[in-house]
Chains A and B, each alone.
Chain A
Amino acid sequence: MGEAKKSLTGESFVFGDDVQKRELLEAAFDYRGDVTLELASGEKLEGYLFNRQLDRTPYFVEMFVAGEATPRCIPVDQIIALHFSGKDAADGKSYEAWKSKKLKERQEESKKIESEMKRAGLLD
Chain B
Amino acid sequence: MVPLSQIWTVASYVLSKKIKGEKRYPLVLMLEPLFRCNLACAGCGKIQYPDHILNRRLTPEQCWAAADECGAPIVSIAGGEPLVHKEIDRIVAGLIERKKYIYLCTNAILLRKRIDLFKPSKYLTFSIHLDGLKEEHDESVCREGVYETAVEGIKEAVKRGFRVTINSTLFDGANPQRVRTFFDEVMSLGIEGIMVSPGYSYQKAPDQEHFLQRNKTRELFQQILREKKKSWKFNLSPLFLEFLQGNVEYDCTPWGNPTYNVFGWQKPCYLLQDGYAKSFKELIETTPWEKYGFRSGNPKCANCMVHSGYEATAVNDTFGSWKGFVKTVKAALS
Contact = CB atoms under 8 A, between A and B. Distances in A.
A86 B50 contact: yes
A30 B40 CA distance: 20
Contact of B206 (A30, A34, A94, A114): A94
Interface residues of B, number: 32
B56 A94 contact: no
A43 interface: no
Interface string B192-221: 000000000101101111100000000000
Interface string A70-81: 000000000000
Contact of B38 (A90, A93, A107, A122): A122
Given A110-B142, A122-B38, A123-B110, A64 B56 contact: yes
A14 to B, nearest CB: 24
A53 B206 contact: no
Nearest to B274: A29
A17 to B, nearest CB: 23
Contact of B48 (A53, A90, A107): A90
B217 to A, nearest CB: 16
Contacts of A95: 42-43, 206-210
Contact of B142 (A50, A51, A64, A98): A98
Nearest to B40: A113
A20 B166 CA distance: 47
A62 B264 CA distance: 11
A13 to B, nearest CB: 20
A1 interface: yes
A47 B56 CA distance: 13
Contacts, number: 83
Nearest to B264: A51
Contacts of A32: 48-50, 204
A121 to B, nearest CB: 9
A95 B140 CA distance: 10
Nearest to A121: B86
B209 A51 contact: no
Contacts of A107: 143-144
A50 B263 contact: yes
B36 A122 contact: yes
B276 interface: yes
Contacts of A62: 276
A114 B145 CA distance: 13
A124 B111 CA distance: 11
A123 B275 contact: no
A51 B49 contact: no
A117 B208 CA distance: 26
B275 A48 contact: no
Contacts of B143: 107, 110
Contacts of A124: 110, 113
By Cβ-Cβ distance, the 4 closest A-B pairs, closest first, are A95-B207, A90-B48, A89-B48, A95-B42
Interface of A: 1, 29-30, 32-34, 47-48, 50-53, 62, 64, 66-67, 86-87, 89-90, 93-98, 106-107, 110, 113-114, 117, 122-124
Interface of B: 36, 38-40, 42-43, 45, 47-50, 52-53, 56, 84, 110, 113, 142-144, 201, 203-204, 206-210, 263-264, 275-276
